[in-house]
Amino acid sequence: MAYPDTLVGTDSHTTMIDGLGVVGFGVGGIEAEAALLNQPVSFTTPKVLGVNLKGKLGKGITAMDLALTLTKKFREKGVVGWFIEYYGEGVKSLSLPDRATISNMCPEYGATISFFPVDDETLNYMRQTGRIT
C-alpha cells in the first residue's frame, strides 16, 4: 500500500497542496509546535467522501466556478472535518493550477482536506518545475 506525503501547516489554505497529491491540512498552534518538535500530530479517522468528476469544464467555466459549485453542495451535505477525495475521468482534464484552486477552497466548506491523486498531470508538473527528473 502506498501512502501520500503529508504536510501540516498553520495557514487555513494549507489545503492547496492537496491538489498536488499531498495530504495537507491546517492545524492549531499546539499541533504545529508539536510537529516542529518532531512529535506526532494525531487526529481521529475522518469520514471520507469520494467525488467522481466526469467530463471537462465547459467553455467559459473556470476551476473557481467548479469550486464554488462544490462548496455550495458540500455545505448542504455538511462535510465539516471530512476528507474529500476526487477521482474519475474528469480529474484528468484539470490542470494542476485548477486542482490547487479547488483544493484551496476546502476551508470554505469545512472539510479537512480536498485531495486529488497523483497522476500523469501531477508528474508532468513536477518534471516541468524541476522537482523530479
Give the pLDDT score at 100: 97
Q: Is the dihedral of CA 21, 98, 86, 111 positive or negative?
A: positive
Q: Are 50 and 85 in contact (CB under 8 A)?
A: yes
Residue where the block lists cell 497542496? 17
Q: Which of 1-10, 13-22, 58-67 has the lowest mean pLDDT?
A: 1-10
Query: Is 106 inside any structural domain?
Result: yes
CA distances from 49 to 18, 41, 87 (A): 15, 22, 11
- The per-residue pLDDT for range 90-132, each reduced to its tens digit, is 999 999 999 999 999 999 999 999 999 999 999 999 999 998 8
pLDDT exceeds cutoff 70 at 2: no
Q: What's residue 1's pLDDT?
A: 46
Is residue 133 one of the residues assigned to a domain? no
Q: 10 lies in which domain range? A: 6-128
Q: Which residues of 50-89 are buried (b: 16+ CB within 10 A; e: fewer)?
A: ebebeeeeeeeeebeebbeebbeebeeeebeebbbbbeee
pLDDT for residue 22: 94
State the CATH number of the domain containing residue 52: 3.30.499.10
- State the total domains in the chain: 1
Q: Is residue 1 part of a domain?
A: no
Q: Quick check: is 31 in a domain? A: yes
Phi, psi for 81 (deg, rounded to 5): 85, -5
Report residue 3's pLDDT band, with 50, 70 and 90 as the boundaries.
Answer: low
pLDDT of 6 reads: 85
pLDDT in tens, 26-62: 999 998 898 889 998 887 889 999 999 999 999 999 9
Residue 53 lies in a domain: yes
Q: Has residue 27 been placed in a domain? A: yes
Please indicate, yes or no, if residue 94 is contained in any of the structural domains: yes
Q: Within a domain: residue 17? A: yes
For position 42, what pLDDT does the model report? 81
